[in-house]
Amino acid sequence: MSLTEKQYTGEFIQSEAPGSLSRSNVTVTVAAATVLYPGMVLAKLSSSGKYVPYDNAGTDGSEAARAVLYAKIDNEEGVSPADFAGVVIDCLAEVRKADLQWDAGVDAGGKTAAYADLAAYFIKARD
């Protein structure tokens, strides 16, 4: 039996602004029976301002990457989507591409678009 070690809190960060300038407290909506791990690329919904996993095929704000989740959020036991308090990296940081987490439907083109979206907020995704 082999075990796969999951991402640690903040492990994806290469550098960030001093203090807590790069971080914000936000509300993250998590689907039922889902765990979001550190490094998950998030988008901000236009209607509610809540954060959700980035989906380049979305049309509700979820198609524009806006931040990266700092720590794990667990709705694994949940039977419906729920809102959780979370911390995100939303400006002035460098993150490792290899450590970013993506929703299942995001392809290579979607990732490239997300890197450009994040760069607009001075979040550079590095190899």
CATH numbers and ranges of domains, the chain: 23-126 (2.40.300.10)
Condensed to tens digits (0 to 9), the pLDDT of residues 20-45 reads 999 999 999 999 999 999 999 999 99
Sequence-ordered list of residues with C-beta below 8 angstroms from that of 6, at least 6 positions apart, any chain:
37, 72
Express the helix, strand and coil content of the chain in percent, nearest 5 each.
10, 40, 50
Strands 41-44 and 65-69: what pairing?
Answer: antiparallel
- Can you give the pTM of this predicted structure? 0.94
Separation in Å, CA 2 to CA 5, 7, 38: 10, 16, 22
Condensed to tens digits (0 to 9), the pLDDT of residues 46-66 reads 999 999 999 999 999 999 999
Condensed to tens digits (0 to 9), the pLDDT of residues 83-116 reads 999 999 999 999 999 999 999 999 999 999 999 9
* 3 state DSSP class of 12: coil
Average pLDDT over residues 63-87: 96
